[in-house]
Amino acid sequence: MRSGRSRWKFSFHRSSPSTTTTSSPSSSTSFNSDTPPEFLCPVSGSLMADPVILPSGHTFERACIEVCSELSFSPPSVSPPLELSSSSPPLLISNAALKTAIANWCDRSGLPRPTPLSSTSAREIVMKLLPPDHDAKVKEIVDCKLNKPLSVRTRKQNSVVSSNSSLSLSSNSNSQLSSHSSSTSSSSFSPSCGTPKENSTNSEISKASSVPSTNQSSNPSTPCPGDSLEEEILQKLTDSESDPIDQDTATVEAMIYLRQATRESRNRRLALCTFRLLASLRQTLLSRDTVVLTNAAAAVVNLSIEPENKVPIVRSGAIPPLIDILKYGSSEAREHAAGALFSLAVEEDNRAPIGVLGAIPPLIQLFCHRSDGSDRVRHDAGRALFHLTLMETNRSKLARISGAVRRVLSIATSPDDTRSIRKLAMMLVCNLAGSTEGRAVLLDSDAVSAVVELIKNEFEEEYSIATLYGMSKVGLRFRGLAKAAGVEEVLSRVVEAGEGVRADMARKVVQTVQGDVGGGTGKGLVSGEWFEWDDDLLEISDASVVSMGVGAFPQQHKEVRSVVGSSSTKF
């Protein structure tokens, strides 16, 4: 037991257990060899009191990851390395479910619940993990902060970061976000005392994981084309707050103006996607006025067209209001909200936070109910779900929604729906077949016989075969259901008539049904990931099953891109 504890401490802390106990009072009493590893922070090695999720899907103690971001330091225990920057703090989403699970586990184990780490303790832990060749300037900054109490202004800024990171829905969070982003973009810490100093260097456009600097300006002396328009829109919103009588009218005018402006050009959309405007836009998305909500949601769709804007929009906290619009908004507002979520879900870094914040249940509701609006909202909801379920955790979320998989299957097999809607449903089913939980639910939902009927009717054969291949990894249970549904007879025709990926996957499924684990010239029927055939070498895994309809069948690649590709429609 003691050796297990030492290994954990050494692995995460690179220091003695006594040091860890000093930095985290709760760690000595809350940690033992039976602790579930997912309850431990990868940085501190202790039970998490305030767990937060990054867009990458990793979970950390809030104080620890904030310090890592401040130092632009990726924890050594995380692979691949995280892209953290002090100039663009990552989106931190509170993991309430994990926090509750940790608390319940502590209660059952008779251990005290963990308490959040202080900023000072978190810095001490992270500093011990820094490699010797890490920037000495950063170490000097932190040493200065450790020896100098935080000022009132710094404490206020820290509370702003915490408020923004947890995506609070209160109206005060928007003004805090604006204040924080303004101070972050205009100053940096001096190595001598950690006090702000003016940043004289020009900004560069960063990757999608950070807010584009072109949104502010690339040269302080040259005004950005959108600066005057941004000020005009913000002024309208400010005037509406100061004059309650004309508040609704002024807000409507500002949102209509913004919606029209974001339709004009790429440069205008980039210039208007600023911290201040996004904070105000998020506040507007909380309005109860139907006209305001409709125009604000349409403006989000237009801004999200540009790839550089997708991550900043999610970081601004726009997702929770958009989800509320999906649930309670008017038909037109729901249509724009679904379009915005679809456009934002195209960006891989956005899929984790969108799923964590609860977008999947209302999207399924829109996609499966024929009475909910037009075909456009169903298409956008389906395409958003397709991109979200390219991520394993989101596939699990969809599989756990009671009745959702059966409803999606019924759409795929229903003659009452349009072909494009049925195709989206089949693509979702194919994605689900790429995960363990999804496969189990599909088998419970009689998906094998449903997919066989689709193949008989020659509907979306590619996705149907890929779905059968994914389900075939379940083994004996699939074999019984497949024999009863006549899979062998149906796929034998495909094997004889086809070639390439489609025929290879069909052949593998047939071999699974026959119990031939070593037939043909292939290797590793369903247990391995690499499959070797006469014509070429294929890599078929859960990930490839998920994306099978997008890239593996060239003859439909162009058509598929038109179904699930990034939104370019302006509203």
Check: CB of residue 379 under 8 Å from CB of residue 343: no
352-376: buried (b, 16+ CB within 10 Å) or exposed (e) per residue?
Answer: bbbbbbebbebbbbbbbeeebbeee
Q: Which domain holds residue 383?
A: 225-388
Domain boundary, last residue among 134, 155, 176: 155
Task: Note the pLDDT of residue 442.
Answer: 95
Domain boundary, last residue among 363, 388, 413: 388
Q: How many other β-carbons are positioned within 10 Å of the β-carbon of residue 518?
A: 9
Residues 380 and 434 reside in one and the same domain = no
- Specify if 565 maps to a domain: yes
Residue that the structure tokens 């924080």 belong to: 180
Q: Can you tell me the distance from the alpha carbon of 312 to that of 279, in angstroms, rounded to the nearest whole number? A: 11
- Specify if 180 maps to a domain: no
Domain count, the chain: 3
Residues 368 and 437 reside in one and the same domain = no
Residues 10 and 105 reside in one and the same domain = yes
Residues 264 and 381 reside in one and the same domain = yes
Count of positions (residues) in the chain: 571
- Specify if 571 maps to a domain: yes
Residues 137 and 234 reside in one and the same domain = no
**Token pair of 381, please?**
């909801």
pLDDT tens over the chain, length 571 residues: 444 443 443 333 333 333 333 334 344 344 556 788 888 999 999 999 999 888 667 889 999 999 998 888 888 888 778 878 767 777 788 887 788 889 988 998 899 999 999 989 999 999 988 887 665 555 555 555 444 444 433 444 444 434 444 433 333 334 333 333 333 333 333 333 333 333 333 333 233 333 333 333 333 333 344 458 888 888 888 776 666 656 678 888 889 999 999 998 899 999 999 988 998 899 899 988 999 999 999 999 999 999 999 999 998 889 999 999 999 999 999 999 999 999 999 999 999 999 988 999 999 999 998 775 578 899 999 999 999 999 999 999 999 999 999 999 999 999 888 999 999 999 999 999 999 999 999 999 999 999 999 988 888 888 999 999 999 988 888 999 999 999 998 898 888 876 778 888 899 999 988 887 544 333 333 333 323 323 332 334 444 444 444 434 434 434 444 455 556 566 6
**Token pair of 225, please?**
């084309």
Domain boundary, last residue among 120, 155, 190: 155
234-261: buried (b, 16+ CB within 10 Å) or exposed (e) per residue?
Answer: bebbeebeeeeeebeebbbbbbbbbbeb
Residues 327 and 272 reside in one and the same domain = yes
Q: Can you tell me the distance from the alpha carbon of 423 to that of 427, in angstroms, rounded to the nearest whole number? A: 6
Residues 18 and 116 reside in one and the same domain = yes
Residues 465 and 535 reside in one and the same domain = yes
